[in-house]
Chains A and B, each alone.
Chain A
Amino acid sequence: MTLLSGTGIFQPTQITNIITPDLYEVDYENNVITVNACRVPSSLTSQPIGSITFSFIKLPDYITSTPPIKVYSYSDNAREDIIISDDEGVSLNADMMTPGVFEQVLFKPSNFYAFSDNVSYTLHVRPQHEMRPDSRIIIDMPPTLIFDQDRGC
């Protein structure tokens, strides 16, 4: 949460949409960002609209819907006079996320003789990001490879 940009009510000046660090504060402990918005007078319409983009937000480790990002707005510098309170917020839905990718480094049988029994396959993959201790690895084998469940892997 170190780079912010905005349009409409969040646009800091007429010539740039980058919200400089002097215009926002990040409370890392509580995961809260406070933005001094509404700086361009021309955007202050009766029904203002604007977009704000938070860069470098790390997505969850797995596909899941998140609790909402809650939005509040204050009319004063002291942030005492709240004018908008949106506890319902906006959530990141699971269908907006995609799984990570594995890089396949090696997938090699112990011998290359056709229809040979007792062949070992070595699978070596590199996940693109860290894996949790309780992660499960599921490998779908093609039907032409017969796996001896009694022996395991």
Chain B
Amino acid sequence: MFYREAGQYKTTYAADLAIFPIRQDRYGLMLILIVAFVVIPAVGDQFFINTMMIPFLILSLAAIGLNLLTGYTGLLSLGTGAFMGVGAYACYKLETYFPQVNILVWIIASGFVSSAIGLAFGLPSLRIKGFYLAVATLAAQFFLEWCFARVPWLVNYNDSGAIEVPTETLFGVPVTGPTATPVTRYLVVLTIVAAMAWIASNIVHGRIGRMWMAVRDMDIAAQLIGIRLLRAKLLAFAVSSFYIGVAGALMVFMWLGAAEADAFNIDLSFDVLFMIIIGGLGSIVGAFFGAAVIHLLPIALRALPAMLDLTISSKTIDQLTYMITGVLIIVFLIVEPLGLARLWQTVKQKLRVWPFPY
């Protein structure tokens, strides 16, 4: 009723195979992009853009990256935080060696560094699976974190042991550093995230995505139908690490402004993993849902008491936030174990046939 596709005739195969075959979906996506690119920069205040939207987009990108590996290829990884760190440190090193090159070039380039490291740690994936692979990637997490803390070359021998972000410009407008306005940084992040989400969506709907899913569903069967496992798995590691690396570089350069090794600890890995589990394994939109639940929900909850004029101490608010977020996650997973993306699918289906469900 609300979501009718009656009268929408497909006259070509291409139209039938489109990612968004239904008109309402295409309009919906356009509406969302207009809101994201025009409305939010125009009306959002600094807190909303700086603290909510920029981190939300960056974490979504990391979640998309992990989803390519874990959700689509079925390779469980606990090294996300470290791979984000690789991206961040690579971007910092490249930027300090060649400050004249545009920072956006280095943000994308740092993805390739992360990709190379991801390939190296992905090699064991041919022989080990499931939890054992998780442990191997856990080793990557600890090893890389150790490197960030112990290799002074990575931080250019700074006494503080942290990487700092200098001011860089794009077309004369500062995009990093303290003088970059939140709106500028938001638009840069949004552009990168939107472009990379689009590319990811195309990858998973194409030959490569099908190959990954075949490997996920049964790797021996995939091998029998002619998929080369090592290649498929390594490709998943490389592409996934690329996304995660870019997210890490964005995190330091567009959001935190400075970072110690501890910013890329195991908690970050778990956060991103929870995002894809809650959002939905094997779904691009699920990455956005998951990031919203893990990052935006606690902030909204923290803002609630002030809005209702309740005087609750900051400590209690914080603890309540943890508890409520935890409960909500459990509720979401009970209602729909396959994640919010699946829930959204179900809702859409219901809307389609309402009020005459069959």
Whether chain B is bound by chain A comes out as no
Q: Which B residues form the contact surface with A (CB < 8 A)?
A: none
